[in-house]
Amino acid sequence: MKTGFVAVMGRPNAGKSTLVNALLSKTVSIVSPRAQTTRDSIMGILNEKGMQIVFIDTPGLFVPKEALGKAMVHSARESAKGVDAIVYLIDGSAASAEEDEGIIDSLGVLCPLFICVNKIDLITAPEGEALLERFKARFPKAVVMPMSALTNFGLKEVKDGLGAVLKDGPQYFPSDALTDKDKAFQAKEAVRFELLRFLDEEVPHQCAVVVNDFKEKNGHLKIEATVFCEKKSQVGIVVGKGGAMIKKISMSARHRLEAQFHEHVTLLLEARFLEGWRDNPDKLAQFGYGNGDGDAD
């Protein structure tokens, strides 16, 4: 059986999580139009006849300011170590080619590298062609291909390309496994998804969601979670007038989880103020974002 680990990397908002979900035809990772949506490295497991590819969806690579950003970038770079191949996604619509080239150089890739120019549905054919030629010339050893993760264009090509470079090996996960993350993690992400959906600007980026209690009994999930806000004023925004916003967030997240798990879900959500949590290594560790005090690399 052909098996292997493949890191999906790129700048924030390039479409990495969209690609992993599309390859699996399932949602393992939340997607939003905002940059820095993914905070943890999340495995998405593709099981096909004679093949198991473990994709690692990573947080976007950028120059971080706070300890949270450093932890995200650290997590992404750590995920690239020891993988069998890397898929590097370029946002073709973002005019970021120079920055992407610098990031790819900095990765020091030793395994097969696939550079996918994503979001080609948003650019003209000559623009796409120019980007493909640019990356082919700059990285002659890489496989460079066009892609639109949103419309499924180029997915088969990348899957076939990976199939050709992966070797026979042990099956790492059971054939019905979809992700390495448990239901409590997915509950946290479902709440973060709704925060990103309903709240403006920097509020969701300055919130952490922590699952305090998680019980599963007879097809019924009971989840208690807290949204920690970096600023006092954000607690009021998350809660909303008469609790309307937090009710909306909690109800949408609950529906999402019920559809995902086919179980009845009770979700109790509260919001609290926690000053400067994004730059507090102890809090980051407690919230599951390790290495917050590490280097920016």
Residues in contact with ligand GTP by CB under 6 A are 10, 12-18, 31-33, 35-38, 59-60, 118-119, 121-122, 148-150
Task: Count the residues in the chain.
Answer: 297
- Distance from CA of residue 42 to its chain's centroid? 6
- 238 makes contact, choosing from Mg ion, ligand GTP, none, with CB < 5 to 8 Å by partner type, with none
Q: Are 223 and 213 in contact (CB under 8 A)?
A: yes
Enter the tokens of residue 224: 């208690």
Nearer to ligand GTP, 31 or 225 (CB): 31
Sign (positive or negative) of CA dihedral 156, 158, 159, 165: positive
Count Cβ atoms within 10 A of the Cβ of residue 58 and give its class: 0-12 exposed, 13-18 middle, 19 or more buried.
Answer: buried
Asked if 79 touches Mg ion (CB under 5 A), the answer is no
Beta-strand relationship, 42-48 and 113-118: unpaired
Query: For residue 112, which amino acid is it?
Result: P
- Both tokens of 124, joined, read 């003209």
Piece in contact with Mg ion (CB under 5 A), picked from 33-41, 88-96, 133-141, 239-247? 33-41
Per-residue tokens: 6? 């493949």
- Pairing outcome for strands 143-146 and 51-57: unpaired
Shortest approach of ligand GTP to residue 174 CB, angstroms? 26
Q: Which of 3, 5, 17, 280 binds Mg ion (CB under 5 A)?
A: 17
Report the Cα 102 to chain-centroid distance in Å.
21
- By the 8 A CB rule, do 155 and 126 touch? no
For Mg ion, which residue of 21, 36, 38, 118 counts as binding (CB under 5 A)? Answer: 38
Q: Nearer to ligand GTP by C-beta: 61 or 249?
A: 61
From the list Mg ion, ligand GTP, none, which binds 111 (C-beta under 5 to 8 Å, kind-based)? none
Nearest distance, CB of residue 96 and ligand GTP, angstroms: 12
Q: Is 37 in the site for Mg ion (CB under 5 A)?
A: yes
* Least distance between Mg ion and beta carbon 170 (Å): 28
Q: Which does 12 bind (CB under 5 to 8 A by kind): Mg ion, ligand GTP, none?
A: ligand GTP
Residue nearest to Mg ion (CB): 38
* Residue 18 binds to Mg ion (criterion: CB under 5 A): no
Nearer to Mg ion by Cβ, of 185 and 214: the residue is 185
Please give the DSSP secondary-structure letter assigned to residue 60.
P
Q: In what order do the strands lie in the sheet with 264-273?
A: 207-217, 220-229, 264-273
Q: How far is the CB of 167 from Mg ion (least distance, A)?
A: 28
Q: Which is nearer to ligand GTP, 36 or 206 (CB)?
A: 36
Closest approach of ligand GTP to the CB of residue 204, in Å: 11
Task: Kindly list the residues in this chain that would bind Mg ion in the complex (CB under 5 A).
Answer: 16-17, 37-38
